Amino acid sequence: MTPAVALDRAAELLICARRVLVITGAGLSADSGLPTYRGIGGLYEEAATEEGVPIEVALSGQMLRQRPQLTWKYLLQIEAACRGAQPNAGHLALARMSTHFQSFTVLTQNVDGLHRQAAQPQLIEIHGNLHRLLCDECACRWQVQDYDALQAPPRCEDCHGPVRPEVVLFGEMLPVPALQQLEAALDRGVDLVLSVGTSSGFPYIAGPVVQAARIGVPTVEINPGLTDVSAVVEVRLPERAAVALPQLLRRLEGDRR
């Protein structure tokens, strides 16, 4: 299937759908200037950090408890990499698409908050959001624009307890409310599953795509590179999300240019 044919077929599937599940990853935010986690141009391409431990260990829940200053060192780096980023054409296209469907749920692994900035409704931030902070002792929550004013590792102003961002670190459980939102969306049924800019390396990310393909629900992938679900999707668009999604939106709204 040529890219042009794949684009037309993806648009046909989108136009025919009423209930859509979109799964997004770091590749969607790449055109906002954010590095992907791994791979070419990734924030952490080396095998180990300066401290000699894998980044997955440095950014684990266990390390946050044992050596919070180490985990916060890399949390600050990630937040700095996101600083000032704005939603790109892909984020904006998805937010506008949502108005054309009975149900349009976006499940994102990204913690950068760009979907929220784009005013995406029906959003599930399965890994949380860097800009929401939580006190582990008094459970106080608050929103921050950036980490500039934080003394790392930060302490709660109310009880002086340890503070963390509301994100899922390695080795931690996924948030129950987000899982319940995803389960509810799947229970309502979907007519199309669209995977965008994600390697689909986690079972809960690949699972909805694989299950949909297994039962005959149309599946589309937008990703320049091959991923763990490339072999099972019905339509694969080897393109950047910020290019492909606006093209799909134009076709959805009746403009085939």
Residue ranges per structural domain of the chain: 3-33+86-127+172-252, 35-84+130-167
- Which class in CATH covers the domain with range 35-84+130-167? alpha beta
Residues designated as active site: 127
Tokens of 8: 């037309």
Does 35-84+130-167 match 3-33+86-127+172-252 at the fold level? no
Q: Tens digits of per-residue pLDDT, 150-178?
A: 888 999 989 999 999 999 999 999 999 99
Backbone angles phi, psi at 40, to 5 degrees: -60, 125
Tokens of 49: 């950090």
CATH tag for 3-33+86-127+172-252 (out of 3.80.30.20, 2.40.170.20, 2.40.110.10, 3.40.50.1220)? 3.40.50.1220
Q: Tens digits of per-residue pLDDT, 31-64?
A: 999 876 544 344 555 556 888 888 889 999 999 9
Going from the C-alpha of 29 to that of each of 43, 70, 71, 82, the distances in angstroms are 13, 26, 23, 9
pTM for this model (two decimals) = 0.92
Beta strands in the chain (DSSP E): 19-24, 103-108, 123-125, 128-135, 141-143, 163-167, 192-196, 219-222, 235-237
Residues of the chain with pLDDT under 70: 36-48, 255-257
Tokens of 253: 């709204």
